Structure 1
């Protein structure tokens, strides 16, 4: 039992660390692309994010077993996409890759770009959207937490596709607040 309590506290801290790091990464953009620093922050936050989200999904495994298994798998694809976009930021800066260079590479290798970025990219916001909907529907969290997750998930794709920094920061905030609230709840060990 004590092991579970300690694990849950670490998972809560991991959620807070990953939410904070994702907010920080958005401040490291140059033009419309993440810098190497932003990319590294995104990459290094993924293990914390996976551990923290695993705690959320574990908590609901008995209440929603089918959703939990598929939802977490979907989330893991989203985590891979986060690493991919982080690596893109690192490589763009290290090798001086510009947006026109990326557009040419996309046309030359459409299948690779589609698989690495566009096919799995929506997995993260979709997993957050489904989590928020299930938390709201099953009344497993406070309504405002579920609603902010839903709004953050809905705003994620347009904020990332448009690369408008204000929209990205707003989206980050919509996700940051509920993730910190859930993390703090896990740390305090409240149901």
Structure 2
């Protein structure tokens, strides 16, 4: 049984599933003393919404099997976009205004609530989105099991690569995250065994 337009992943979304994590990985090469800087920050700010566009397409597909789970995860993903892009803008403005890491953190301390909302409290939402996406893919089996497992692994390792700002760790995690989304883009998702039955009574 062929996928309907509603349950297939469009070509543009598949391209975003590759372009998003690829751009994000490229931003790490522009780090300077563990900071994104203007170039790296710009790439991050642009990569996150591109990546999320592809993720939303996977969630639309997942919604045919886990509608409530996918709906809640869509909202979380949108907040994750804001948080992820905010860190990119932080790196951009640090270099534009000639601020070092200590000066940037000191300035943010003057605005604890708003800095918390845009950065520190919402910062984990993007990797949390990836973790729950991977868990959903494992549950539905709409893609090969290693795809979901690698996404979960990358999401768990994500904070370890960004908090200490160790470049070699970040590069490894970037590859761990790029690989499953590349597979997801190249392989057409299939209907889960838990999916709805077609009119002939067989599972689609």
Give TM-score scaled by structure 1 length.
Answer: 0.91
Q: Give the CA deviation at 1:5.
A: 9.3
Which residue, 90, 100, 103 being the options, matches 1:101?
103
Q: Which structure: larger Rg?
A: 2
Which residue, 51, 65, 70 being the options, matches 1:63?
65
Matched, 1:180 2:175: no
Paired residue secondary structure (1:27): helix
Q: 1:6 to 1:151 in 2, by over 3 A?
A: closer
1:151-189 per-position Cα deviation (integer Å, ceiling 9, x unaligned): 10000112111111111111111110001111112xxx4
What is aligned with 2:173?
Answer: 171
What is aligned with 1:51?
Answer: 53
Taking the TM superposition and a 5 Å limit, the aligned residue runs for 1:104-119 are: 104-119=106-121
Q: Give the CA deviation at 1:107.
A: 2.6
Q: Give the CA deviation at 1:25.
A: 0.7
Q: 1:8 to 1:144 in 2, by over 3 A?
A: same
Q: Which runs of 4+ in 1 moved over 3 A?
A: 1-7
Q: Give the CA deviation at 1:144.
A: 0.9
Instruction: Please provide the CA RMSD for this pair.
Output: 1.9
Distance 1:5 1:40 in 2: 33
Q: Give the CA deviation at 1:135.
A: 1.4
Which structure's residues are more often helix, by fraction?
A: 1
Q: 1:108 to 1:62 in 2, by over 3 A?
A: same
Distance 1:190 1:49 in 2: 17
Q: How many residues align?
A: 188
Give unpaired runs (5+ residues) of structure 1. none
Distance 1:5 1:154 in 2: 28
**Higher RCO, Cα 8 Å, sep 6+:** 1
Between 1:32-41 and 1:131-140, the stretch displaced more is: 131-140
